[in-house]
Amino acid sequence: MPIHKLESVNAFIARDFEPEVPAIGIVRNAPKILQGGAKELARAQTYQCALFELEIAGHSGGISAAGEHRAAAVAEFVNQVLPEVTTGALMVDAGKGIRVGEFAALTSADSRNPLCADPSIAAASVVACADAVRPLRGATIGIESVDVAGAHLVQKLAAKGAVITAVSTSAGSIVQPAGFAPQALVDAIESNDSDAVHALSDEVGPAFKLMGSPCDVLFIGSKIGVLDHSGAPHVKASLVVPYGPIPYTTKGAIMLGRQQVTVLPDLVSTAGSLLAGQSDITDAETLEQVVTQRVAALAKDLVTSEHGAILEACHRAEKFLNTWRAELPFGRPFAP
């Protein structure tokens, strides 16, 4: 996968296919962004676009800067990619480390439906996929890293009648067998972020213990490969649903399958923003309904495959890629 290094700033863009093909993806900022992770994110985006029959490539960028140099580096990145965003050759979403407003110029120049940035639609997509496969009313829920997943996911789950019994943040994990009051959980997240667990309970365990909490449905997605072969054996949920890109490793996904755990493809559950951006519907409520109906139908179809939902999603994406590419990109979208 080609890596384009920007001039006069420590930043890069990993991009599937040639520059002539429009590309969509996220850009992250940290003291050091590794190219390997960016390549994996770009490939996942390519496959997601192909699954929904869009002739768009995936990309992922990184800005390696911190401290007093950070703001200038982000601003310079924006200046350098703005021409491509203006022409529609590049569609950029803010990832981890990018603060509200820093990509405002890119957002203004983007030709996509601005509702694609609505976190409520993204959360609704995730929840709709889960509900299509395993009705959520009365189901017990574990959410890995609510400081990342945020209040919108909690609100959408509560609206479905789900009972959130376990949550984690980067600061730890807590379990409440009777279920958390949804509004109290939302308030704790919005007021305390990662310290939400301490605001809600005096009994906070290690964050990794969330994976083994007793629940019907487990939502994961704080980072690439967060659920690997060491965590998979402890999963007690019967359904695992990603809210972020490629949160499972190859070994982790295989082990969960052997344990008769259904794992939904992130290519489907996280597609809300992608589909919203390609739509011309301007009413948020209508757009959410259209998007959720589409992803829910696909999720329900994929889980019937003898190959498993993840591999079936890859097969369908590759079938479409073969209609307009001379050869497939090397490597499927799994965390290493």
Residue 207 and residue 273 share a domain: yes
| 328 domain-assigned | no
Residue 271 and residue 156 share a domain: yes
Residue 144 and residue 84 share a domain: no
| 324 domain-assigned | no
Residue 146 and residue 243 share a domain: yes
In percent, how much of the chain has pLDDT > 70? 100
With CA atoms as reference, report the closest residue to 48 among 331, 336, 274, 304: 274
DSSP assignment, residue 331?
S
**Which of 76, 111, 146 is the last residue in one of the domains?**
111
Per-residue pLDDT of 29-56, as tens digits, reads 999 998 989 999 999 999 999 999 999 9
Per-residue pLDDT of 196-220, as tens digits, reads 999 999 899 999 999 999 999 999 9
**Which of 67, 83, 111 is the last residue in one of the domains?**
111
pLDDT at 148 > cutoff 90: no
pLDDT of residue 289: 97
Residue 247 and residue 144 share a domain: yes
Q: What is the dihedral of CA 145, 46, 289, 140, to 10 degrees?
A: -30
- Hey, what are 163's tokens? 């009972």
| 73 domain-assigned | yes
pLDDT of residue 43: 97
| 336 domain-assigned | no
What is the sign of the dihedral through the CA atoms of 74, 79, 80 and 82? positive
Residue 124 and residue 250 share a domain: yes
pLDDT at 194 > cutoff 90: no
Cα of 152 vs its chain's centroid, Å: 14
CA–CA gap between residue 95 and residue 44 (Å, rounded) = 15
CA–CA gap between residue 43 and residue 45 (Å, rounded) = 5
Domain that holds residue 137: 119-311
b (16+ CB within 10 A) / e for 283-302: eeeebbeebbebbbebbeeb
| 90 domain-assigned | yes
Residue 224 and residue 75 share a domain: no
For residue 59, the SS3 value is strand
| 321 domain-assigned | no
pLDDT of residue 149: 79
Averaged confidence pLDDT in the chain: 95
Q: Do the Cβ atoms of 222 and 247 come closer than 8 Å?
A: yes
CA–CA gap between residue 192 and residue 202 (Å, rounded) = 15
pLDDT of residue 197: 92
Residue range 74-88: average pLDDT?
Answer: 96
Residue 245 and residue 132 share a domain: yes
With CA atoms as reference, report the closest residue to 42 among 78, 92, 108: 92
CA–CA gap between residue 320 and residue 318 (Å, rounded) = 5
pLDDT at 100 > cutoff 90: no
Question: How many structural domains is the chain composed of?
Answer: 2
| 237 domain-assigned | yes
Residue 101 and residue 197 share a domain: no
With CA atoms as reference, report the closest residue to 46 among 59, 58, 61: 58
Residue 213 and residue 81 share a domain: no
Q: CATH code at 29? A: 3.40.50.10860
pLDDT of residue 336: 84
With CA atoms as reference, report the closest residue to 35 among 14, 5, 56: 14
pLDDT of residue 208: 93
pLDDT of residue 311: 95
Instruction: Give the number of C-alpha atoms closer than 13 A to the C-alpha of residue 5, restricted to the C-beta side.
Output: 8
Per-residue pLDDT of 224-251, as tens digits, reads 999 999 999 999 999 999 999 999 999 9
pLDDT of residue 132: 98
Per-residue pLDDT of 117-145, as tens digits, reads 999 999 999 999 999 999 999 999 999 99
**Which of 111, 143, 172 is the last residue in one of the domains?**
111
Residue 194 and residue 73 share a domain: no
| 235 domain-assigned | yes
pLDDT of residue 150: 86
Q: Do the Cβ atoms of 265 and 313 come closer than 8 Å?
A: yes
pLDDT at 65 > cutoff 90: yes
pTM: predicted TM-score of the whole model, two decimal places: 0.95
Query: From residue 283, how far is each of 43, 91, 153 by CA, in Å?
Result: 31, 22, 20
Q: CATH code at 212? A: 3.40.50.720
Residue range 292-299: average pLDDT?
Answer: 98
pLDDT of residue 193: 82
Residue 64 and residue 188 share a domain: no
pLDDT of residue 144: 96
